[in-house]
A and B are shown apart, each in its own frame.
Chain A
Amino acid sequence: MADLTESRIEAQSATRPAKRIKWDQIGDHAILIAGALLMLVPVFMIFASSSWDDITLHREGLQFGFSDDMANNYNAALFEYGGFTDSVNGVTMLANSLILGIGFAIGKIIVGMMAAYAIVYFRLKFATLAFWMIFTTLLLPLEVRILPSYEVITWMNLGNTYTGLIVPLIASATATFFFRQFFMSVPEELIEAARIDGAGPVKFFIDILVPLSQTMIAAMFIIMFVFGWNQYLWPTLITTDESLFTLVRGIRQIMQAYADGSSTPEYGEAAALAIIAMTPPVLVVVFFQSWFVKGLTESDK
């Protein structure tokens, strides 16, 4: 990458007069800045608005500047109990979102790695069939089979449980497929050497394959955490008990309060809740950017 850009600098300065490059570059930067603003401004407005009182927001819409109600709104969003049964506040929802995001990511990685290991590293006639059975699940997203999935969960009495919330989401093969691709690319010599040294399948997996997959695991964790955290439809159906609401699920309650329109909606609190709901996944993606990009571009292909 570094030598690529360097050579491009050389190539460009060699073929073009200095002045044109400058104008070109200004144009490029202008487009990129416009794009960055398109992404930033709406979120910034929500953030700025989370510092205003409901009445201002109700009268004038989202704000660009900051006011002094920030502590109030975040306090309300995090600690004030709301909903129909008054049994949920922002902290509970934050905890539930974390449980869903982390539980889903870990569950998916463990189940996926185990299955991928069995498919790639064992002489098993049944492996091809298993692979196709698992692979088929990539075809139909949960949204397509949502009503029957819900019936199955209800029938199993798993409504309003963390198991019912997390496990059905694991029933797709993205992680298995991703680790399968990676294991296939691991050099053959490794397993040969391990076998000569007398390592069995468990030892090989734990001492060699897992340490080798660290980057892949990290990349997958980030993608899956964000995916789990941002789930909406499934938590909406499966959790009717407010103490199990996630932050993203909580957004639906806000929207319904708007639709009722009986009193001045708590805009400031809603904006604060939106900011709280987006902060953890955004931070994860920004800070672990290179892993995240790697996981995304390599898992979908």
Chain B
Amino acid sequence: MKRAAFGQIGFPILLLIPQLVIIAIFFYWPAGYAIQSSFYLQDPFGFGSTYVGLENYSRLTTSRTYLSSFWFTVIFTTLVTFFSLAIALLLAVKADKVIRGAKTYRTLLMWVYAIAPPVAGLMGVMLFDQSRGNITQVLANFGYDYRLGVNYWDTAAAMITVSIWKQIPVNFIFFLSGLQAIPKSVREAALIDNASGTSRFWDITFPLLAPTGFFLLIINITYALFDTFGIVDTIVKGEPGNNPMTLVYRVFVDGFRGGDLGGSSAQSVVLMVLVLILTVVQFRFLERRIHYT
């Protein structure tokens, strides 16, 4: 709040009303509804619902399909986060270093940001298609029989590859702006003290980039968990069957295809808790960062 703030009461409340009404109706109500439904079992024919306590949750812990989605999501998130961060960091360091063409490289490396996940997924389907996909054919030349949508891990590989590809631009933009924020004096001092580019990177640049990196870690985990929905949906062509699924995709499949409101809501609540944990971790870290610098 500003020191010389205005004193009116009515006007600011008027300004706040649209935002508060929208979040009350489209955020708090559905979120509360999800928590509530997670304790109820919906009658499959629509005749009301019965309170079942934690049964929906305990059902999750024993459901083989849910657990397999859970482990797939862990693997998926780890691989997507690691590779998209690593590739983006390498490219950002190089783009920060080169003098000629720096702007052109920046444009060429970031524009994919604007492509929608399902469009990226469609491209993935065409490239990895079981019989005529270009990548499938390359793999066939190496003697590997790639089967998208049939072999579990083949399908998973396509999802992971497309998700990494789609996420590189965001990470690249943040790493590059993080690198450019490193003060000139620090760079020069490092250059005088140490001629080896590799050790200069690991001793000076990398630690200074750590806050950006940590922030991006959270962003990437959130991306892999939630924003990859369009990629997963297009790659399984809307027909998941026995294909790998992320947890968010399962919320959708169980809720809308299976009509299991209680189970789907319990899954939503599990994801909410996961996001809350991530946020708390992020805040604690940010606090510490402000404290020490």
- A residues with CB within 8 A of B: 1, 4-5, 7-9, 11-12, 15-16, 24-25, 28-29, 31-32, 35-36, 38-40, 42-43, 45-46, 49, 57-62, 110-112, 114-115, 117-124, 126-127, 130, 133-134, 137, 139-141, 143-152, 156, 167-168, 170-173, 176, 188, 191-192, 195, 200-202, 204, 226, 229-230, 232-233, 237, 248, 251-252, 254-256, 258-259, 267, 270-271, 274, 277-278, 281-282, 284-286, 289, 293, 296-297, 300-301
Can you give 23 contacting A-B residue pairs, CB < 8 Å? A1-B180, A32-B95, A39-B111, A39-B165, A42-B123, A46-B126, A62-B127, A117-B12, A119-B16, A121-B1, A121-B12, A123-B1, A130-B20, A139-B275, A144-B251, A144-B268, A145-B30, A148-B30, A148-B268, A152-B30, A172-B27, A200-B6, A285-B110
- Are the C-beta atoms of B188 and A11 separated by less than 8 Å? yes
- Are the C-beta atoms of B126 and A62 separated by less than 8 Å? yes
Which 5 A-B residue pairings sit nearest by Cβ, starting from the closest?
Answer: A230-B116, A171-B26, A118-B12, A281-B114, A148-B30
| B158 at the A interface (CB under 8 A) | no
Expressed in whole angstroms, the Cα–Cα distance for A121 and B7 within the complex equals 9
Expressed in whole angstroms, the Cα–Cα distance for A274 and B279 within the complex equals 35
| B125 at the A interface (CB under 8 A) | yes
Residue of B nearest to A195 (CB): B4
- Are the C-beta atoms of B26 and A149 separated by less than 8 Å? yes
- Are the C-beta atoms of A232 and B230 separated by less than 8 Å? yes
| New A-B contacts (18) at CB < 8 Å, excluding given A226-B113, A259-B238 | A4-B180, A35-B87, A38-B168, A42-B165, A46-B123, A61-B129, A110-B18, A115-B15, A134-B20, A144-B251, A151-B30, A152-B33, A170-B26, A201-B12, A251-B118, A251-B122, A252-B238, A296-B173
Contacts A15-B191, A230-B116, A278-B119 hold; do A146 and B255 have CB atoms under 8 A apart? yes
- Are the C-beta atoms of A171 and B113 separated by less than 8 Å? no
Contacts A1-B180, A120-B2 hold; do A289 and B107 have CB atoms under 8 A apart? yes
For B23, the chain A residues whose CB sits under 8 A away are 133-134, 137, 171-173
Contacts A42-B165, A188-B2 hold; do A286 and B30 have CB atoms under 8 A apart? no
| B151 at the A interface (CB under 8 A) | no
Residue of A nearest to B178 (CB): A297
Residue of A nearest to B129 (CB): A61
Expressed in whole angstroms, the Cα–Cα distance for A13 and B174 within the complex equals 28
Q: Is the interface of A mostly helix, strand, loop or mixed?
A: helix
Other-chain contact of B27, A38, A156, A171, A201 (Cβ < 8 Å): A171
Chain-A contact segment, one of B45-53, B61-69, B73-81, B132-140: B132-140
Give, as a whole number of angstroms, the nearest-CB distance from B132 to chain A: 4
For A168, the chain B residues whose CB sits under 8 A away are 26
Other-chain contact of B4, A127, A192, A255 (Cβ < 8 Å): A192
Expressed in whole angstroms, the Cα–Cα distance for A259 and B20 within the complex equals 43
| B22 at the A interface (CB under 8 A) | yes
- Are the C-beta atoms of A115 and B19 separated by less than 8 Å? yes
Contacts A42-B123, A267-B126 hold; do A32 and B226 have CB atoms under 8 A apart? no
Give the interface centre of B174, B195, B219 by most chain A CB atoms within 10 Å.
B174
Expressed in whole angstroms, the Cα–Cα distance for A237 and B192 within the complex equals 59
Give the interface centre of B94, B95, B109, B165 by most chain A CB atoms within 10 Å.
B94
Other-chain contact of A7, B34, B122, B188 (Cβ < 8 Å): B188
For A4, the chain B residues whose CB sits under 8 A away are 180, 184
Contacts A9-B99, A39-B109 hold; do A123 and B7 have CB atoms under 8 A apart? yes
For B137, the chain A residues whose CB sits under 8 A away are 61
- Are the C-beta atoms of A114 and B19 separated by less than 8 Å? yes
8 Å CB contacts to A: which residues of B239-284?
239, 248, 251-252, 255-256, 261, 264-265, 268, 271-272, 275-276, 279
- Are the C-beta atoms of B31 and A148 separated by less than 8 Å? yes
Give the interface centre of B5, B99, B191 by most chain A CB atoms within 10 Å.
B5
| B108 at the A interface (CB under 8 A) | yes
Give, as a whole number of angstroms, the nearest-CB distance from A266 to chain B: 12
Expressed in whole angstroms, the Cα–Cα distance for A271 and B18 within the complex equals 41
| B9 at the A interface (CB under 8 A) | yes
- Are the C-beta atoms of B5 and A232 separated by less than 8 Å? no
For B290, the chain A residues whose CB sits under 8 A away are none
Give, as a whole number of angstroms, the nearest-CB distance from B3 to chain A: 6
- Are the C-beta atoms of A144 and B116 separated by less than 8 Å? no
- Are the C-beta atoms of B238 and A145 separated by less than 8 Å? no
- Are the C-beta atoms of A140 and B275 separated by less than 8 Å? yes
Residue of B nearest to A37 (CB): B108
- Are the C-beta atoms of B256 and A237 separated by less than 8 Å? yes
Expressed in whole angstroms, the Cα–Cα distance for A39 and B106 within the complex equals 12
| B160 at the A interface (CB under 8 A) | no
Expressed in whole angstroms, the Cα–Cα distance for A133 and B19 within the complex equals 10
For A271, the chain B residues whose CB sits under 8 A away are 126
